[in-house]
């Protein structure tokens, strides 16, 4: 066993921490929340110069060929600074499936541009049922000569408002089992027939409703094979769950750090509140939750990087880390008291993201069902 | 990072597995009641199993498996991970892979004691010939251990004379020696002035009085010392350094969470809900039951994280002060949660105890529910652990 990060991972972690401390202050996070785009092109380009977008892209396509575990190390730091922008959508939801299932042609066309920060992609999975099961996908793609026509509505599509392309999951075969009749289409986000409407969200993150009306795509715009899209989606959602866990751990770590600093200097009854046992015990529990979370997440990421099946660990991480982030921010609120309940204080930024993270990409009830299945129940 | 064991470690795990299956009596599964991270049902503390465990310790000693984590110069392999693997496997079979002497006192002696004491004691402990009990708590010194009253006075003639009383002394009745903390300098500040001594149970003046725990098992005792003469060569390390040594010993003690026994209980519950029908379907199909067991699987995996990380840190030469407290806190609290969850799943059947033909899992769950009370209290309460984590681990002020 080895619980150390590699030297390169430590370098990446430190440089990301320092970079974001300077380039991603909370002021920027707040501006992005309130803005329409939620996106700073300048920050995005600087990240690309540091090689973040290209971190897991193979070298032959202009990236640095890092592992999924490397990506998790970076995402934890991005979560610490709640870094805004389309990194999660482009890299996790867009780039990973292209790397794992895209044709050579698609990779050559997309990956170098992604690495350079010139392309934004997202994946359109969920619909009105807000579910991550194959049977919930109703958007259809019907053959029309050599093309397909996509019709239907997607909901909760991340960063679709600024995306250049969407990976749209659509049903291409009604006859087969739900998992066996789905295909992934690479669709230009601004093409005729697509109507994008922004959703008003709790944390100001940018999600959209997307209506497809006879959107014409070519049959070679399919990622992977016809009717074989679901395993790719499933794999992407699994990796995205771990990626989200990494961000949530970073967020929880930021909250415990902020709270510790405060508890050491805030004085009541002539003593720092951190000297009170009730407060100390909160911290002991926060530390325990966060580091338990870290183990589950890094173990899952390590397994993914090693190519070992990790379904059990991924679901365990998603349930536990989501709960951790919520518990830690709630305890943080208890420590900060009234000031933490103000808009000017930063804690609410984390509090919002904790509930959003916990309920995204399969909530804990969904993942507990998966765990039960993995346990043989 | 690497979350896997080496090939050598995997091979060793298999060896321990084979050995354990071979050595335990065929009816062991019916006899062993151990609940993970409980202190009241450890078979090594019961008179009934003393002969069996004494023999097992000798065999473990022959194999060289009692001192795996000790430094190489004292016959060990300097591998806490192997020590932990052995305990993982053996606690799965509800029989810990070591004694207080081998897992707690031995490694502490190897760090702090004089050369003479190491030479005299470590080989005997490593061979499984000496069993020990921990003499820390007193009636008025529980969480506030520094308030201890037991005195050890230099008689000027090569001995210390001990007077006082210990309590919650687990296994004192089946052990050979006490690992006793006594005040040697009454004028010293509260956390100084105490000394660790090895006290032979057969010394005149030692009286051991049984205490029956809420599981109905005689696991712990009160021990009284009346003018007990202990030779000076039995002082562990230096005079008045006792508290410091106890802190070291506690890091080893906190590994005693019965990591394998957690896995075992989960497996048995999964089997139980698969075979138990309710409203025309197995309990395993009930989403509420599924979610409860999924929760337990997650928490047990987290516990594994804390366990193996703490062990790994020890092998790296790091001091897992914060981590070992988290491990103890999390493990013992989980022992309670697991017992509660299991009782909820059993429903009315959880009312039945061992001896009833209707009691599921031979009544281990209802007994475990009682035993699980002990974990978060013994060896430093959950509140004491949280205090250590917050102050020593995270640097919060004490005042």
Quick check: B31 and B354 in contact, CB under 8 A? Answer: no
Tell me, yes or no, whether A78 and A26 share the same domain: yes
In a domain, B398, yes or no: no
What are the chain A neighbours of B309 within 8 Å (beta carbons)? Answer: 3, 295
Tell me, yes or no, whether A29 and A142 share the same domain: no
Q: Who among A1, A274, A377 is closest to B312 (CB)?
A: A1
What are the chain B neighbours of A302 within 8 Å (beta carbons)? Answer: 1-3
Tell me, yes or no, whether B183 and B263 share the same domain: no
Tell me, yes or no, whether B389 and B261 share the same domain: yes
Tell me, yes or no, whether B124 and B137 share the same domain: no
Contact between B326 and A299 using a beta-carbon 8 Å cutoff: no
In a domain, B399, yes or no: no
Q: Spell out the per-residue pLDDT of chain B, length 399, in tens.
A: 999 999 999 999 999 999 999 999 999 998 999 999 999 999 999 999 999 999 999 999 999 999 999 999 998 999 999 999 999 999 999 998 899 999 999 999 999 999 999 999 999 999 999 999 999 999 999 999 999 999 999 999 999 999 999 999 999 999 999 999 999 999 999 889 999 999 999 999 999 999 999 999 999 999 999 999 999 999 999 999 999 999 999 999 999 899 999 999 999 999 999 999 988 999 999 999 999 999 999 999 999 999 999 999 999 999 999 999 999 999 999 999 999 999 999 999 999 999 999 999 999 999 999 999 999 999 999 999 999 999 999 999 998
Q: In this structure, how many other beta carbons lie within 10 angstroms of the beta carbon of residue A355?
A: 16
Q: List, in sequence order, the alpha helices (H) in B173-215.
A: none
Tell me, yes or no, whether B118 and B231 share the same domain: no
Give the end-to-end CA distance of chain B in Å, rounded to a whole number.
39
Tell me, yes or no, whether B319 and B235 share the same domain: no
Q: Who among A264, A369, A376 is closest to B270 (CB)?
A: A376
User: Smallest CA–CA separation between B304 and chain A, in Å?
Assistant: 9
Q: What CATH number is attached to the domain comprising A358?
A: 1.20.140.10
Tell me, yes or no, whether B287 and B355 share the same domain: yes
Rounded CA-CA distance B181/B193 in Å is 10
Tell me, yes or no, whether B62 and B106 share the same domain: yes
In a domain, B1, yes or no: no
Q: Who among B3, B383, B394 is closest to A302 (CB)?
A: B3
Q: What CATH number is attached to the domain comprising B199?
A: 2.40.110.10
B residues 303-322 near A, CB within 8 Å?
Answer: 304-306, 308-309, 312-313, 322
Rounded CA-CA distance B324/B303 in Å is 11
Q: Which domain holds residue B349?
A: 252-393
What are the chain B neighbours of A368 within 8 Å (beta carbons)? Answer: 290-291, 294-295
Tell me, yes or no, whether A250 and A366 share the same domain: yes
Tell me, yes or no, whether A343 and A289 share the same domain: yes
Of A201, A228, A255, which residue is a domain's last?
A228
Quick: pLDDT tens for A157-199: 999 999 999 999 999 999 889 999 999 999 999 999 999 999 9
Percent of chain A whose predicted confidence (pLDDT) is above 90: 98
Tell me, yes or no, whether B146 and B232 share the same domain: yes
Contact between B393 and A291 using a beta-carbon 8 Å cutoff: no
Tell me, yes or no, whether A136 and A64 share the same domain: no
B375-to-B16, B330, B334, B380 alpha-carbon distances in Å: 26, 10, 9, 9
Of B214, B230, B245, which residue is a domain's last?
B245
Q: Does A278 touch chain B (CB under 8 A)?
A: no
pTM: 0.93
Q: How many residues does chain B have?
A: 399
Tell me, yes or no, whether B387 and B276 share the same domain: yes
In a domain, A2, yes or no: no
In a domain, A338, yes or no: yes
Q: How many structural domains comprise chain B?
A: 3
Of A212, A228, A244, which residue is a domain's last?
A228
Tell me, yes or no, whether A63 and A167 share the same domain: no
In a domain, A1, yes or no: no
Tell me, yes or no, whether A236 and A363 share the same domain: yes
Tell me, yes or no, whether A143 and A216 share the same domain: yes
Tell me, yes or no, whether A141 and A268 share the same domain: no
Contact between B389 and A288 using a beta-carbon 8 Å cutoff: yes
DSSP string across A337-363: GGGGGSSSSSHHHHHHHHHHHHHSSS-
In a domain, A165, yes or no: yes
Q: Which residue of B has its CA nearest to A376?
A: B270
User: Smallest CA–CA separation between A300 and chain B, in Å?
Assistant: 9
- Residue B191 has a pLDDT of 84
The interface pTM score, or ipTM, of the predicted complex is: 0.89
Tell me, yes or no, whether B267 and B348 share the same domain: yes
In a domain, B2, yes or no: no
Of B131, B157, B175, which residue is a domain's last?
B131
Tell me, yes or no, whether A348 and A321 share the same domain: yes
Rounded CA-CA distance B361/A180 in Å is 42
Contact between A377 and B308 using a beta-carbon 8 Å cutoff: no
Tell me, yes or no, whether A169 and A95 share the same domain: no
Tell me, yes or no, whether A301 and A360 share the same domain: yes
Phi, psi of B15 (to 5 degrees): -60, -45
In a domain, B200, yes or no: yes
Q: How many structural domains comprise chain A?
A: 3
Tell me, yes or no, whether B145 and B157 share the same domain: yes
Quick check: A209 and A199 in contact, CB under 8 A? Answer: yes
Of B245, B276, B303, which residue is a domain's last?
B245
Q: What CATH number is attached to the domain comprising B89?
A: 1.10.540.10
Chosen from A245, A284, A369 to mutate, greatest number of chain B CBs within 10 A: A284
B residues 196-235 near A, CB within 8 Å?
Answer: none
Q: Which domain holds residue A72?
A: 7-119
B residues 44-83 near A, CB within 8 Å?
Answer: 81
Of A62, A86, A119, which residue is a domain's last?
A119
Contact between B396 and A371 using a beta-carbon 8 Å cutoff: no
Tell me, yes or no, whether B387 and B377 share the same domain: yes
Q: What CATH number is attached to the domain comprising A55?
A: 1.10.540.10
In a domain, A75, yes or no: yes
What are the chain B neighbours of A288 within 8 Å (beta carbons)? Answer: 326, 329-330, 389
Rounded CA-CA distance B251/B127 in Å is 23
Contact between B294 and A369 using a beta-carbon 8 Å cutoff: yes
Helix A311-336 and helix A277-306: axis angle, to 10°? 150
Q: Which residue of B has its CA nearest to A285?
A: B386
Q: Does A269 touch chain B (CB under 8 A)?
A: no
A residues 341-370 near B, CB within 8 Å?
Answer: 365, 367-369
Q: What CATH number is attached to the domain comprising A193?
A: 2.40.110.10
What are the chain B neighbours of A274 within 8 Å (beta carbons)? Answer: 390, 396-397
- Residue A175 has a pLDDT of 86
- Residue B149 has a pLDDT of 96
In a domain, B345, yes or no: yes
């Amino acid at each position: 066993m080895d619980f150390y990060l590699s030297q390169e991972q430590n370098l990446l972690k430190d440089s990301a921490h320092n970079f974001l401390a300077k380039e991603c202050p909370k002021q920027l996070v707040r501006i992005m929340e309130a803005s329409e785009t939620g996106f700073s092109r300048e920050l995005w380009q600087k990240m690309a110069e540091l090689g973040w977008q290209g971190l897991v892209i193979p070298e032959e396509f202009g990236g640095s060929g890092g592992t999924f575990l490397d990506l998790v190390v970076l995402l934890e730091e991005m979560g610490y600074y709640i870094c805004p922008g389309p990194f999660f959508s482009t890299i996790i939801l867009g780039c990973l499936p292209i790397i794992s299932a895209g044709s050579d042609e698609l990779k050559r066309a997309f990956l170098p541009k992604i690495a350079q920060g010139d392309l934004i992609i997202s994946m359109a999975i969920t619909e009105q049922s807000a579910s991550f099961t194959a049977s919930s996908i109703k958007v259809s793609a019907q053959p029309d000569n050599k093309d397909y026509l996509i019709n239907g509505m997607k909901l909760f599509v991340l960063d679709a408002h600024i995306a250049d392309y969407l990976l749209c999951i659509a049903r291409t075969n009604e006859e087969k089992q739900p998992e066996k009749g789905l295909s992934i289409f690479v669709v230009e986000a601004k093409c005729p027939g697509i109507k994008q409407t922004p959703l008003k969200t709790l944390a100001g993150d940018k999600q959209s409703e997307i209506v497809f009306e006879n959107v014409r795509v070519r049959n070679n715009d399919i990622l992977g094979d016809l009717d074989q899209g679901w395993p790719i989606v499933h794999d992407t959602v699994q990796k995205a769950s771990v990626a989200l866990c990494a961000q949530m751990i970073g967020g929880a770590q930021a909250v415990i750090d902020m709270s510790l600093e405060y508890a050491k200097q805030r004085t009541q009854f002539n003593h720092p509140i951190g000297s009170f046992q009730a407060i100390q015990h909160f911290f002991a529990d926060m530390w325990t939750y966060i580091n338990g979370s870290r183990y589950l997440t890094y173990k899952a990421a390590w397994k993914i990087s090693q190519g070992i099946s990790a379904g059990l660990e991924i679901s365990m991480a998603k349930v536990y880390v989501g709960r951790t982030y919520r518990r830690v921010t709630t305890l943080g609120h208890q420590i900060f008291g009234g000031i933490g309940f103000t808009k000017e204080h930063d804690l609410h930024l984390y509090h919002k993201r904790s509930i959003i993270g916990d309920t995204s990409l399969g909530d804990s009830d969904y993942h507990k069902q998966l765990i039960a299945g993995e346990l043989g129940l | 990072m690497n979350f896997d064991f080496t090939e050598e470690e995997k091979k060793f795990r298999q060896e321990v597995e084979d050995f354990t299956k071979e050595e335990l009596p065929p009816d062991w599964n019916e006899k062993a009641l151990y609940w993970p991270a409980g202190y009241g049902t450890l078979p090594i503390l019961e008179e009934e199993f003393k002969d069996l465990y004494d023999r097992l310790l000798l065999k473990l000693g022959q194999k060289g498996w009692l001192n795996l984590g000790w430094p190489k110069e004292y016959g060990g392999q300097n591998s806490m991970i192997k020590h932990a693997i052995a305990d993982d496997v053996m606690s799965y079979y509800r029989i810990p892979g070591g004694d207080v002497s081998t897992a707690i006192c031995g490694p502490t002696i190897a760090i702090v004691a004089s050369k003479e004491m190491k030479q005299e004691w470590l080989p005997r402990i490593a061979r499984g010939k000496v069993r020990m009990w921990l003499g820390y708590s007193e009636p008025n010194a529980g969480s506030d251990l520094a308030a201890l009253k037991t005195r050890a006075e230099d008689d000027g003639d090569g001995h210390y004379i001990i007077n006082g009383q210990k309590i919650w002394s687990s296994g004192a009745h089946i052990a050979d020696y006490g690992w006793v903390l006594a005040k040697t300098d009454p004028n010293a500040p509260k956390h100084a002035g105490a000394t660790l001594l090895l006290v032979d149970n057969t010394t005149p003046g030692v009286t051991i009085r049984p205490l029956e725990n809420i599981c109905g098992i005689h696991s712990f005792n009160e021990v009284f010392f009346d003018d007990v003469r202990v030779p000076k060569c039995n002082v562990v390390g230096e005079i008045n350094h006792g508290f410091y040594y106890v802190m070291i010993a506690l890091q080893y003690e906190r590994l005693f969470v019965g990591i394998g026994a957690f896995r075992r209980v989960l497996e048995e519950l999964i089997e139980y809900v698969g075979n138990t029908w309710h409203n025309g379907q197995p309990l395993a199909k009930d989403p509420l039951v599924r979610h409860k067991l999924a929760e337990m699987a997650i928490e047990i995996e987290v516990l594994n994280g804390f366990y193996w990380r703490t062990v790994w840190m020890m092998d790296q030469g790091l001091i897992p002060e914060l981590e070992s407290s988290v491990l103890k806190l999390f493990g013992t609290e989980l022992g309670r949660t697991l017992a509660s969850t299991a009782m909820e799943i059993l429903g009315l059947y959880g009312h039945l105890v061992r001896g009833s033909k209707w009691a599921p899992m031979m009544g281990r769950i209802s007994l475990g529910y009682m035993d699980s009370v002990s974990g978060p209290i013994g060896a430093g309460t959950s509140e004491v652990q949280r205090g250590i984590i917050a102050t020593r681990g995270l640097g919060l002020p004490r005042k």
